[in-house]
Amino acid sequence: MLRRALPARPEARRILIGTLLSAIGRGLTLPFLFIYLTDVRGLTDARAGLVIGWYGAVTLALSPLGGTLIDRFGARRVVLPCLLIEAIGTGSLALVDSTASAFAVATVIAVGSSAIWAGQNTILASLTDDGERQRVYGLNFALLNLGIGIGGLTSGAIVDTARPVTFQVIYLLDAVSYLMPGAILLTLPHVGHRLAGAASTADRPSTGGYLSVLRDRPFRRLVIFGLVLTTCGYAQIEVGFTAYAVRVAEVTPRVVAWALAGNTVMIVLSQLLVIRRMEGRSRTGALVAVGAVFATAWLVLGAAGLIGTGNALVAALGVVACSVIFGFGETMLSPVMPALTNALATDELRGRYNAMSSMIFGISGIIGPVTAGPLIGAADGKIWVAVVVGGCLSASLLALSLRPLLSATQDGRATPAPIPAREPEPAAG
């Protein structure tokens, strides 16, 4: 299955290796930023929250510019400096000693990360045809989670709040990890430029930039689906899931950690099988299933909350089961969303399409945490469960309404004939 999921072009395989290496570094630091800022650097909970929120807001605000730059100059010229900026910012976290310096470093990191995801997806799209993109994006997601899992296990054995140097070490290692995909991209001098067709049409008024992207009715429907699903799905993991599990189901933080580990294991072990089973099947059908799976996960968590302290073991199993079921839904969503985005995109606007797709997670990442707290505080979390379950099922209905707007090829029900790869050419000055 792994051999079948690998892209045909060796350049794409090397890009995937970069994803794995950078993900290991990301996993080293991902769970610890809040703890580092508060318990090690002495920021209050409120100020640390504002720093993290500021990072998300700046990243979201700059993402559209990143998509425009990718289309104008090519992903290579955008991703390489962004990876360097991200490395500098992440490494600088080791030197943070005040609220002001934390905000400054968060700003630098946000500038770097604003275009990396869209740029890397654009590069992968340029190295694969539509028939293999779904498999490649799924494999990319599995490698991302594998790397984060490896990094998380490693840092868990290293960090100690009584020894600030342990946190400084993992942030410096994370910084080095961001240089790895950049180094790989430097060894591929012909990868990441604008396609010749895109370069020759880049100045046409008819392209219309983001206005043309927003006029694309199928993509507009896909964006609405993504906003609803991620707001009631992904965006609830960091705050809603954790708060409900600890405060309503009354499990320990250790159970939450095991649940998140179970989520990663599910993704890594099942992703290749899922993308194989999805070949030749409707992409919108998969999106419908994702909404249903996410809704099921939240219902299981709701049941764990009803059990609560009545049976601590069953409640804990329910929390873990929720996270594992959610991970299965992620294995269907992760290959389909970027593949469908790039099936709808044109070469001259591909960067903008990918940037707008990445903005879905940024917007929902603001809405989800803000709404989760008040909803969980009402009626012992029952209102929160009802809202997220209803939202996920609504997303399934939106996915159903998307299918008539797509061709059989765009929906993945027909395998397109291989298209000869066009020679890339550097963007003009």
Among 215-224, 304-313, 355-364, the least confident range:
304-313
pLDDT for res 378 = 75
Q: Is the pLDDT of residue 336 over 60?
A: yes
pLDDT for res 312 = 87
Q: Is the pLDDT of residue 322 over 90?
A: yes
d(CA 126, CA 422): 9
d(CA 247, CA 384): 13
d(CA 329, CA 113): 26
Q: Which tokens belong to 261?
A: 């580990």
Q: What are phi and psi of 204, to 5 degrees?
A: -65, 135
* Burial tier of 78 (Cβ tally within 10 Å: 0-12, 13-18, 19+): buried
Helix/strand/coil for 362: helix
Give me the residues paired with residue 195 across strands. 424
37-91 pLDDT, tens digit each: 888 899 988 888 888 888 888 999 999 999 999 999 999 999 999 999 999 999 9
124-141 pLDDT, tens digit each: 999 998 888 999 999 999
Q: Higher-confidence residue: 295 or 151? A: 295
The DSSP result for 154-196, as a single string, is: HHHTT--TT-HHHHHHHHHHHHHHHHHHHHHHHT-TTSSSPBH
The DSSP result for 260-313, as a single string, is: HHHHHHHHHHHHHHHHHHHTTS-HHHHHHHHHHHHHHHHHHHHHHHHHGGGGHH
Confidence band, pLDDT 50/70/90 cuts, at residue 195? low
Same fold for the domain at 1-195 and the one at 212-414?
Answer: yes
Confidence band, pLDDT 50/70/90 cuts, at residue 415? low
pLDDT for res 161 = 80
Q: Higher-confidence residue: 87 or 254? A: 87
Q: Is the pLDDT of residue 230 over 70?
A: yes
* Burial tier of 103 (Cβ tally within 10 Å: 0-12, 13-18, 19+): middle
CB contact at 8 A, 185 and 80: yes
Helix/strand/coil for 37: helix
pLDDT for res 22 = 94
User: Which superfamily does 1-195 belong to?
Assistant: MFS general substrate transporter like domains (1.20.1250.20)
Q: Where are the alpha helices (DSSP H) in 31-129?
A: 33-35, 45-73, 75-92, 99-113, 116-126
pTM of the model: 0.85
d(CA 266, CA 281): 22
Q: Is the pLDDT of residue 122 over 80?
A: yes
Q: What is the CATH number of domain 212-414?
A: 1.20.1250.20
Q: Which tokens belong to 256?
A: 């939450």
Among 183-187, 286-290, 374-378, the least confident range:
374-378
pLDDT for res 372 = 80
- 381 DSSP 8-state letter: G
Average the pLDDT over 313-333 and give the result: 94
Average the pLDDT over 256-276 and give the result: 89
Average the pLDDT over 145-160 and give the result: 85
Q: Is the pLDDT of residue 146 over 80?
A: yes
Confidence band, pLDDT 50/70/90 cuts, at residue 251? confident
pLDDT for res 419 = 47
365-398 pLDDT, tens digit each: 888 877 887 888 777 789 999 999 999 999 999 9
Q: Higher-confidence residue: 108 or 206? A: 108
Residues of the chain above pLDDT 70, percent: 92
Confidence band, pLDDT 50/70/90 cuts, at residue 416? low
Q: Is the pLDDT of residue 203 over 50?
A: no
pLDDT for res 29 = 87
Break the chain into its structural domains and give their ranges. Answer: 1-195, 212-414
Q: Is the pLDDT of residue 152 over 90?
A: no
- For 272, other C-beta atoms within 10 Å of its C-beta total 19
pLDDT for res 397 = 97
239-249 pLDDT, tens digit each: 788 888 888 88
- What residues have CB less than 8 Å from 147, skipping those under 6 apart? 19, 20, 21, 22, 23, 24, 25, 26, 27
